[in-house]
Structure 1
Amino acid sequence: MIRKLTVLLWVLTLLLSGLPGLSVHAANSPLAKIPGNSNPLMDHKLGADPFALVYKGRVYVYMSSDEYVYNSDGTVKENDFSPLNKIQVISSADMVNWTDHGAIPVAGYNNANNGSGIAKWASLSWAPSAAYKTINGKDKFFLYFANGASGIGVLTADSPIGPWTDPLGKALVTQSTPGMSGVTWLFDPAVLVDDDGTGYLYSGGGIPNTSDPASVANPKTARVLKLGADMTSVAGSAVTIDAPYMFEDSGIHKYNGKYYYSYCINFSGTHPPDYPAGEIGYMVSSSPMGPFTYKGHFLKNPYTFFGVGGNNHHAVFNFNNQWYVVYHAQTVSKAQLGEGKGYRSPHINKLVHNADGTIQEVQGNMAGVPQTANLNPYTRVEAETIGWQAGIATEKSQAAGGPVANLNVTNIHNGDWIAVGSADFGTGGAKTVKANVASTVGGKIEVRLDSAAGPLVGTLNVSPTGGAQVWKEIETGVSGAAGVHKVFFVFTGSGTGSLFNMDYWQFTPNTSGTKVEAETMTLGGTYAGKVNSPFSGVVLYANQDSAAYTQYFANSTHSISVRGASSSSATARVDLLIGGTAVGSFYFTGTAPTVQTLSGISHATGNQEVKLVLTTDNGTWDAYVDYIEFQ
């Protein structure tokens, strides 16, 4: 957990709070991830050596557990990597709002992780990688990690967030594994499950002799292993990857039938221009076991982008048909300490393959990538799902009903806040919002749109619940929350101490119905034109025109009404499609407007295209539509 700012800044804040004209409820400032930016992925804690796993519409990022290490006088010392005995996990469905799943207590040797360590033989857990595979009809998950530089272990689970177990009770790969002799640093695993279900593990690093130019240029310390069908055993002998100027950080991805092995180029000696020190180079092969041919480099050292360098660690992945690279940089520690001191945080930027298979140089930045999907505010959202924040932390929670290893937001003080990006309230908007809270002090949660000082749409009053883990659900009315907005939960209260904890939040939609005028429905395949008679609406021609728009549905069943008319005495049939699926038809006879209603119509939830199509006109030239209404 990242601590609050120094005592000096705390005292300064107290002094300023007493000055005339300064609101005691002024929202605090974010640390490193600024609203609108997507990098770093989180700034309420640290995380290094990231690896991405995509599973069922979510990206899971697994990281080494960087934490600040302190001198005896309370100052932060240079990172000595001593806390790296856990693995941090976050996940996102949209690349902006990341759910904190906490830390997996991996290492268990010598009472590591206070005796809760899973791998009792391991004292450290560095640079994780993860994969899943369907075995006996069930998806199984595999988490590979380095026990320092001495070997690779594996944990297994039935979900990407655990709970995890150690199936072997020992390391999977050591120096005695066939083919691993000569590896200086046996760490930094990367895993690939190929299209045929075969698993491959890549690892290694180091320079056998840094004073020997030949050893620097061709360390020959990278390896690839074929895994057994169970993903927890090794099949055959490791194969050497002759990665020029290899340092560390194995990476692997498959694109267009080719296998891309990538790694961090070393810092030793003098390099030719095509092997720049501290950057990510890559090699390509037609086989997952190689041989690989060096092609170039695609990610510069973090210093180039952020003014603070250190080692370079990455993973390439595909999400929703877009390629990305996740990497670390010392941006959070620099923002908090004024310098990085070796403490790292995860970032993501887009990655592009050229037509010839080469990779373009990635442009690292704080802007990151745009949100790929809107967030649904009408389902339970964990409070630890955070786009941006100011001042908070997360901790293990005793609240019921959450995910595996549920967390809650804590360390909440006056002016702190959390926020999510692009929540879609739909055209009907929200009616209420509720939150699960625990408190010994109490305070308020101001619900604001688009910024911490944006429009106030509701206020939740938090009363003491009897303890910091004694949970109570509270609710309040909401006014003015419609459409797509960032949502800020701004915490206010008296005093300088912690106010309360927050477990989750959820809005409920207005249920009085949604009415949409047909003349505003202009999404794709537009209608023939607008009309003023027999009402203000649109005209549809048979089998060629449609009136369509996007509607957010929190519920899957509605009564749906359409007001319309035929252009003659004959009957016009207008079909209704939701999300591309025909759900019913409306029949309008004669030129006098009528309202036709379909009751109990089932359809998909979330953002859906709603389309009205004149499928057949039964001899008429056209049909007229006034509006559509959902109840």
Structure 2
Amino acid sequence: MLRQALAASAAVLLMACGAPPEDPFAGLPVVNTDGTNPIVRDKFTADPAPLVHDGRLWLYVGHDEAGEGEMFNITGWLVYSTEDMRTWVDHGSVMKPTDFSWAIRDAWASEVIEKDGRFWFYTTVEHDDTDHGKAIGVAVSDSPTGPFVDARGSALVKNSDTDGPHWWDDIDPTAFEDDDGTVWLYWGNAHLYYAPLAPDMISFADEIRRVEVDHFVEGPWLFKRGEIYYLAYAGIDETEHDWEQIYYATAPTVTGPWTFRGKIMGIAENSFTIHPGIAEFKGDWYLFYHNGALSIDGVEGALGRRSVRAEHMYFNEDGTIRPVVATDEGVSVARGE
């Protein structure tokens, strides 16, 4: 009898060990199942920032909620994830601007980077009247889904810290970890700034510097492929168009010198702004961006009601990026090398 009980217990244990792990995201809303554009269709979203971690691609976006006559009203940051670039899961809100005690509004563009097992959220908000203007905050979480909390209790970059031509030049941070472990921050509007972060991830290890790249306006995105550093950004060439397009430059080091390489994508439909986010995921490269083409329940898209999208991105043998065309099919169609 004892032998039979032990055998039964062993069988149960083996079955438990062999059982597939429970899906941690089961029951969460699914917003897309076929990889077509836009990715999110039940909310207006902007400024996509991809992060690859633990076999998934996480996509952080601002929640666009502008009403008629409003240019922007971005009320918080949301995160979505996928394991195949087709099916996207909605993880909800990760933070709102007033979670920074010194900020008053505006969940503008951001990027999340994983470092030493923690997730660092560099983002743009409106500072209170003690230093009027746009500012860059840093928040932290032990999970890519948050919640994120203010990591330093004050702005990492305030309007008064830089010499920009207007009060919104300190926006759109992009964070990148170089091969030696140093994390670099690039940001700016009209002026492009950069500085290395200290090991604590909430202060700078050196002074803030400026760099010039052709047609730069805003939305820098820094990444590396092979030995080449890339800086994609939203820019304007007024000889061609007075709306933003996505351009890029390359360099042999993270600080340059930067060589202008041309355009990745043209103007966004129904939106003056466009914002790049670029990631390699499971061997393929993707360009994320936004436009104003989506309508939801009769509410039309607009400059302040945009929608995030994704396309395959391909490189030439010399490392230059092939132009990317915005499509409704998105990543559901592989266009080949």
**TM-score when normalising by structure 2:** 0.81
Check if 1:119 corresponds to 2:100: yes
CA contact (8 A) 2:33 2:87 kept: no
Match of 2:271 in 1: 309
Check if 1:99 corresponds to 2:66: no
Match of 1:256 in 2: 226
* Alignment-mate amino acid for residue 97 of structure 1: T
Match of 2:129 in 1: none
Check if 1:144 corresponds to 2:122: yes
Q: Point out where structure 1 has 5 or more consecutive residues left out of the alignment.
A: 1-32, 70-76, 109-117, 207-220, 373-631
* Alignment-mate amino acid for residue 203 of structure 1: W
Q: Deviations over 1:341-386 (max 9, x none)?
A: 53111101011111111110012111111399xxxxxxxxxxxxxx
**Structure of greater relative contact order (alpha carbons < 8 Å, 6+ residues apart):** 2
Relative distance call for 1:64 and 1:34 in structure 2 (3 A) is closer
Relative distance call for 1:334 and 1:282 in structure 2 (3 A) is farther
Match of 1:300 in 2: 266
* Alignment-mate amino acid for residue 352 of structure 1: Y
In the alignment, the residues of structure 1 paired with residue 327 and residue 56 of structure 2 have an alpha-carbon distance, to the nearest angstrom, of 23
**TM-score when normalising by structure 1:** 0.44
Shift of 1:256: 1.4
Root-mean-square deviation (CA, aligned residues, Å) is 2.3
Which SS does the other structure have where 1:89 is aligned?
strand
Counterparts of 1:592-611 in structure 2, within 5 Å, are none
Match of 1:162 in 2: 146
* Alignment-mate amino acid for residue 63 of structure 1: V
Match of 2:205 in 1: 235
Relative distance call for 1:60 and 1:293 in structure 2 (3 A) is same
- Larger CA Rg, structure 1 vs 2: 1
Q: Deviations over 1:269-311 (max 9, x none)?
A: x42x6x98521111111111222111111111122xxxx2321
1:153 to 119, 124, 137: 137
In the alignment, the residues of structure 2 paired with residue 174 and residue 351 of structure 1 have an alpha-carbon distance, to the nearest angstrom, of 35
Shift of 1:163: 2.3
In the alignment, the residues of structure 1 paired with residue 204 and residue 69 of structure 2 have an alpha-carbon distance, to the nearest angstrom, of 37
Relative distance call for 1:96 and 1:287 in structure 2 (3 A) is same
Match of 2:50 in 1: 52
Check if 1:133 corresponds to 2:123: no
Shift of 1:201: 0.7
Relative distance call for 1:160 and 1:183 in structure 2 (3 A) is farther
In the alignment, the residues of structure 2 paired with residue 85 and residue 239 of structure 1 have an alpha-carbon distance, to the nearest angstrom, of 30
Check if 1:369 corresponds to 2:331: yes
Check if 1:87 corresponds to 2:77: yes
CA contact (8 A) 2:274 2:289 kept: yes
Relative distance call for 1:276 and 1:322 in structure 2 (3 A) is farther
In the alignment, the residues of structure 2 paired with residue 88 and residue 163 of structure 1 have an alpha-carbon distance, to the nearest angstrom, of 11
CA contact (8 A) 2:66 2:72 kept: no
CA contact (8 A) 2:42 2:296 kept: no
Counterparts of 1:325-474 in structure 2, within 5 Å, are 325-333=287-295, 336-338=298-300, 340=302, 342-370=304-332
Moved >4 Å (runs of 4+): 33-37
Match of 2:157 in 1: 173
CA contact (8 A) 2:246 2:263 kept: yes
* Alignment-mate amino acid for residue 254 of structure 2: P
Q: Deviations over 1:379-437 (max 9, x none)?
A: xxxxxxxxxxxxxxxxxxxxxxxxxxxxxxxxxxxxxxxxxxxxxxxxxxxxxxxxxxx
Q: Deviations over 1:114-136 (max 9, x none)?
A: xxxx21111232111110111xx
In the alignment, the residues of structure 1 paired with residue 78 and residue 101 of structure 2 have an alpha-carbon distance, to the nearest angstrom, of 19
Counterparts of 1:524-535 in structure 2, within 5 Å, are none
CA contact (8 A) 2:64 2:75 kept: no
Q: Deviations over 1:549-584 (max 9, x none)?
A: xxxxxxxxxxxxxxxxxxxxxxxxxxxxxxxxxxxx
Match of 1:73 in 2: none
In the alignment, the residues of structure 2 paired with residue 182 and residue 35 of structure 1 have an alpha-carbon distance, to the nearest angstrom, of 43
CA contact (8 A) 1:94 1:371 kept: no
In the alignment, the residues of structure 1 paired with residue 37 and residue 203 of structure 2 have an alpha-carbon distance, to the nearest angstrom, of 37
Which SS does the other structure have where 2:97 is aligned?
coil
In the alignment, the residues of structure 1 paired with residue 66 and residue 242 of structure 2 have an alpha-carbon distance, to the nearest angstrom, of 30
Match of 1:284 in 2: 250
In the alignment, the residues of structure 2 paired with residue 100 and residue 300 of structure 1 have an alpha-carbon distance, to the nearest angstrom, of 29
Relative distance call for 1:169 and 1:349 in structure 2 (3 A) is same
What is the percent sequence identity of the aligned residues? 30
Q: How many residues align structurally?
A: 295
* Alignment-mate amino acid for residue 123 of structure 2: F
In the alignment, the residues of structure 1 paired with residue 32 and residue 153 of structure 2 have an alpha-carbon distance, to the nearest angstrom, of 43
In the alignment, the residues of structure 2 paired with residue 65 and residue 335 of structure 1 have an alpha-carbon distance, to the nearest angstrom, of 16
Relative distance call for 1:371 and 1:160 in structure 2 (3 A) is farther
Which SS does the other structure have where 2:103 is aligned?
coil
CA contact (8 A) 2:35 2:87 kept: no
